[in-house]
Structure 1
């Protein structure tokens, strides 16, 4: 539609910086704009990529008004063909879950225009799932009760019945809903006619009621209009949708419309007190009727953001030297309403209608792979513990659930303090056992707690010549108060000089220990059995108030430390074979120096496991892909 509001867009800035399609190996929009070879030229015959429904990162493609590309005898579908080919053949790299059109597919809604557009959309059929909806230029008049039309013949429910994401349509055929699986969960797209009747609103409410735990994106043609600075406001029809459907349904967190220009966005608060993002996306006023411009909404459930980029695949596919000035100006839009990020804490935003279900505890037998040397957990399967917050008495035995006899016994350091070790129900969300121990150690040698193996435990003398994996869970308090520099997490007791080692910071430190520095960096230092060396790994600063999974992995040649499944940077290249154990106890909660405990651990420790071989992250206690 031509702009119904007296607003005119500013000329957008030329592309200056990279826009990342979030996947390694992708030829990004910016790279193409700079002249890189396109990943696939339109019309080529390479196979489309696959979509990864389990990845926490995916993209929703949004295509606004394409009416000037289907305008009687001046129609040119080539830009849209390039857009669809891009989506098909970049689907794997950008992890495109779905594409939604915002209406005004054609200029006049004639049979010829509609059929040409329908033939062009056929490039997506069976390759990228999508939705469409009628704009005012696609139909003659009226609301969704208008009856038959060329639009309905080509873009009605019959077109989508074989699509795996198609959920259904309203009885009139002009409204539809689509269910897609992305980031390991279901998402709903509501595609509503540009003028939804009361019956259509009741149908849409019924769809939401039938899927009460599924987050929803509402798409329609006429929703908001924007001022020149991008500030968006509800249109009259948008107000009706807001009052009649959106504000009362917390599931709808994002609503998208076209129809007007310039583009813009706003955030409104629904009846549940949560944000709803409302955007207008329309580029028909730009050169070549928008040239098949698309938006990619990149959902990132790890970073809790939605990153948005806007570009024309048709222009991107051309060599930069061959672009005309207007093509170069329109190739990608980088203004604040075209390229931006939305901060969305997805778990928190969806909690009201779809609360996260915490994973159930996993039995010990399910997390003891071949080669498990020791496995300790602090729930009822591992020990008899007091009530949460109560002190864990000295002498309490935490069984080694591997059955190898490496039980741990609780003790206090120095005179001891009963509160130096308490039982806690707090735990890492991915931890097999739903329990932990809270250590309240400090530099005072009379305040601390330790858990140690017995004098005859096999672990005391285990050499691990073929490799090992040592895992634990750590949580540092927030606020992190006091001086806790070099507090020990775990260690083998004894002096490295007694193992014949001559390198390292001091001959009095133990042969293997995991510690936390004054900067909250992890330090893993080991004196290997086969080398006179002390290869040491250093992490980044650990967060406070949040659980962290730590894994030390040695393959018999060198050691790599992982934090939350990610390999840290500062891992030594020195050869490291085995651990120069001395037959002395393994300890949780502190590190010795000259066979004396000084700095007790301060924070929480969870499940701890030792395996006599290198494990990959997907086989850690919390699996990481």
Structure 2
């Protein structure tokens, strides 16, 4: 939800991308020093304190590190690239809100004790800071012909459950120790990483299903070494894993694996009819064995997207020393398989196992904020009269045109106080429909709101809304023309005030203030069909601001506008007059409408 002080998320995203590019170009926060050996590990960590991720931010990053085996191959051991990537996570943890790291297996080439000792020591950079991460065994880390029932190995000695005990993100391990699950909190909810061995045994499958059953409302990212083998292709074992585990567990929405190259993606529809995104990430075939490249999965729950980027902090950190020709190709991969976005409607995707509870209706008294002069809600079909719940006597009466009718629906904006809406069925030519008008003598008819006002309404336009027949209908409007009120500038036949919808479905507040002859206009952006919207027009006695879903629109005039000119005539809901006669009737649903005789802050709007 926007507030009047919120910034544009797109602007923030662009600014963040610019900052990241600048930092990389200038050697990445100490990664150069680490690569060159200029700072001991302890000093480098102390230079940039790690802070815990923000569990409530709706933007967070999951980091992924694939096969590092060529960096830990017998006598050829080089920990610097892995350490550079891990320091990147520490040093960028707050800026990127990095919540977790998943290694995808093949940590080593031969599974030897000395190889695990070296990479195990590198990962102590994260251990010492309490950063959450998972690892799993690939075919090079263990005997490839075995399953997770293989028993003791150097892998288990280095990265078994004992390493993670007591860590806040560690959930548990299978009895054999080769499968683990981890939990982190981000976007105000819990997420689970299921890290599975290179080859699951029947016991491993039972354990994995039990973990899922014990966390039935938690979205799951499954990591393993082998699954996707190429674009839209699963390996034989990957297909088995899909058939036996992934397809029937709707919680699994994303899988990550290494083993094969080049990087690739696949999408499969699970048994619940939802897409599962399956990603292969592996760069061991590239310069310096992949140089411990990392994938950054940047979740944005408000934009319903995961932006994916692939970078090599070690190569970027060497920029100050001058990169060789091959290194210059590896700083940041930009191919379609390495830098892309995944669009996911998270609420809809998770609705099968973790539906967002519907917001309950709110009692009428809680909506009668000080200054409320009219409040209408439609929780049952309208008769000939709709009562003003503010108690101010601004009741509405039904008016029909051309035999038109007014329907009712339980449909409503998810944040609407009242659970119901009126269904207007207007048509332009010949004019037909029904609308509501305040009764004669209603106090609202005379009100001029000299000290300010807030007018709010919820609306939804149907799929068959046609600008040729339905444009310029009013949600809330005031009758009486400018000419009749002595306001003859602009078009004197226009009504004194109207909150209408243009032929492009743009909300428009057009009215004649007390302090000027002409029409003052606020414009919103196009609002898509079959979607509920909340509008608010706020005037503080000097200026008027139009809000869509609590966000101020760009076309809010700076000119002074005080009050609303009145001719003492009724207000309309769903109707629009031109030249003193009904000219258009709304085609769509109208939810709660409230008018307050003062400027309200965004936090007091009905959708809060």
Please indicate the TM-score interval, normalised by the length of the shorter structure. Answer: 0.7 to 0.9
- Greater helix percent: which structure? 2
Distance (whole Å) between structure 2 residues aligned to residue 29 and residue 614 of structure 1: 38
Aligned to 1:147: 151
CA contact (8 A) 1:22 1:94 kept: no
Aligned to 1:282: 282
Please list the CA deviations of residues 113-158 of structure 1 after superposition, one character each: whole Å capped at 9, or x if unmatched: 3343233323334564221112233345633223333433332223
User: Structure 1 residues 393 and 374, CA, compared in 2 at 3 Å: closer, same or farther?
Assistant: closer
CA contact (8 A) 1:22 1:93 kept: no
Q: What is the CA distance between 1:257 and its match in structure 2? A: 1.1
Query: Which of the residues 548, 562, 565 maps onto 2:533?
Result: 548
Which stretch has the larger CA shift, 23-32 or 136-145?
Answer: 23-32
CA contact (8 A) 1:550 1:562 kept: yes
CA contact (8 A) 1:33 1:316 kept: no
SS at match of 2:495: coil
CA contact (8 A) 1:29 1:332 kept: no
Q: What is the CA distance between 1:472 and its match in structure 2? A: 0.9
Distance (whole Å) between structure 2 residues aligned to residue 418 and residue 107 of structure 1: 77
CA contact (8 A) 1:466 1:555 kept: yes
Q: What is the CA distance between 1:562 and its match in structure 2? A: 2.0
Q: What is the CA distance between 1:105 and its match in structure 2? A: 1.9
Distance (whole Å) between structure 1 residues aligned to residue 553 and residue 541 of structure 2: 19
Aligned to 1:194: 198
SS at match of 2:455: strand
Aligned to 2:339: 339
Distance (whole Å) between structure 2 residues aligned to residue 464 and residue 82 of structure 1: 63
Residue pairs, 1:225-264, within 5 angstroms:
225-226=229-230, 231-264=231-264
Distance (whole Å) between structure 2 residues aligned to residue 436 and residue 498 of structure 1: 33
Q: TM-score, normalised by structure 2?
A: 0.87
Aligned to 1:374: 374
CA contact (8 A) 2:306 2:342 kept: yes
Q: Which runs of 5+ in 1 are unaligned?
A: 1-19, 380-384, 387-391
Aligned to 1:137: 140
User: Structure 1 residues 562 and 349, CA, compared in 2 at 3 Å: closer, same or farther?
Assistant: same
Query: Which of the residues 458, 462, 472 maps onto 2:447?
Result: 462
CA contact (8 A) 1:34 1:320 kept: no
**Is residue 2:392 matched to residue 1:404?**
yes
Distance (whole Å) between structure 1 residues aligned to residue 568 and residue 318 of structure 2: 69
Q: What is the CA distance between 1:561 and its match in structure 2? A: 1.6
SS at match of 2:457: strand
Q: What is the CA distance between 1:317 and its match in structure 2? A: 4.3
Distance (whole Å) between structure 2 residues aligned to residue 549 and residue 614 of structure 1: 16
Distance (whole Å) between structure 2 residues aligned to residue 273 and residue 485 of structure 1: 37
User: Structure 1 residues 448 and 479, CA, compared in 2 at 3 Å: closer, same or farther?
Assistant: closer
Aligned to 1:15: none
Q: What is the CA distance between 1:206 and its match in structure 2? A: 0.7
Q: What is the CA distance between 1:528 and its match in structure 2? A: 2.0
Q: What is the CA distance between 1:73 and its match in structure 2? A: 5.0
Please list the CA deviations of residues 16-45 of structure 1 after superposition, one character each: whole Å capped at 9, or x if unmatched: xxxx99736425587249836746756362
Aligned to 1:212: 216
Q: What is the CA distance between 1:221 and its match in structure 2? A: 1.1
Aligned to 1:17: none
SS at match of 2:470: coil
CA contact (8 A) 1:406 1:457 kept: yes
**Is residue 2:464 matched to residue 1:476?**
no
Residue pairs, 1:55-204, within 5 angstroms:
55-72=57-74, 74-125=76-127, 126=129, 128-139=131-142, 142-204=146-208
Aligned to 1:488: 474
**Is residue 2:487 matched to residue 1:501?**
yes
SS at match of 1:609: strand
Distance (whole Å) between structure 1 residues aligned to residue 355 and residue 199 of structure 2: 33
CA RMSD across the alignment: 3.0
CA contact (8 A) 2:387 2:394 kept: no
Q: What is the CA distance between 1:548 and its match in structure 2? A: 1.6
Distance (whole Å) between structure 1 residues aligned to residue 91 and residue 246 of structure 2: 34
Please list the CA deviations of residues 487-513 of structure 1 after superposition, one character each: whole Å capped at 9, or x if unmatched: 11111222334555353x312323321
Aligned to 1:579: 564
Q: TM-score, normalised by structure 1?
A: 0.85
CA contact (8 A) 1:312 1:330 kept: yes
Please list the CA deviations of residues 570-610 of structure 1 after superposition, one character each: whole Å capped at 9, or x if unmatched: 22121223323344332211222233221111111111122
Query: Which of the residues 542, 546, 562 maps onto 2:547?
Result: 562
Q: What is the CA distance between 1:477 and its match in structure 2? A: 1.7
User: Structure 1 residues 363 and 529, CA, compared in 2 at 3 Å: closer, same or farther?
Assistant: same
Q: What is the CA distance between 1:444 and its match in structure 2? A: 4.9
Distance (whole Å) between structure 1 residues aligned to residue 29 and residue 551 of structure 2: 29
Distance (whole Å) between structure 2 residues aligned to residue 39 and residue 372 of structure 1: 54
Distance (whole Å) between structure 2 residues aligned to residue 88 and residue 451 of structure 1: 61
User: Structure 1 residues 148 and 612, CA, compared in 2 at 3 Å: closer, same or farther?
Assistant: farther
Distance (whole Å) between structure 2 residues aligned to residue 409 and residue 39 of structure 1: 67
Which stretch has the larger CA shift, 115-124 or 42-51?
Answer: 42-51
Distance (whole Å) between structure 2 residues aligned to residue 259 and residue 283 of structure 1: 9
Residue pairs, 1:319-358, within 5 angstroms:
319=319, 322-358=322-358
Distance (whole Å) between structure 2 residues aligned to residue 280 and residue 432 of structure 1: 46
Distance (whole Å) between structure 2 residues aligned to residue 530 and residue 49 of structure 1: 54
Distance (whole Å) between structure 2 residues aligned to residue 346 and residue 210 of structure 1: 21
Residue pairs, 1:409-448, within 5 angstroms:
409-413=397-401, 416-419=402-405, 421-444=406-429, 447-448=432-433
Please list the CA deviations of residues 196-227 of structure 1 after superposition, one character each: whole Å capped at 9, or x if unmatched: 2221111001111222232322111122323x
Distance (whole Å) between structure 2 residues aligned to residue 510 and residue 450 of structure 1: 16
SS at match of 2:329: helix
Aligned to 1:595: 580
Aligned to 2:5: none
Q: What is the CA distance between 1:353 and its match in structure 2? A: 3.5
Q: What is the CA distance between 1:56 and its match in structure 2? A: 4.2
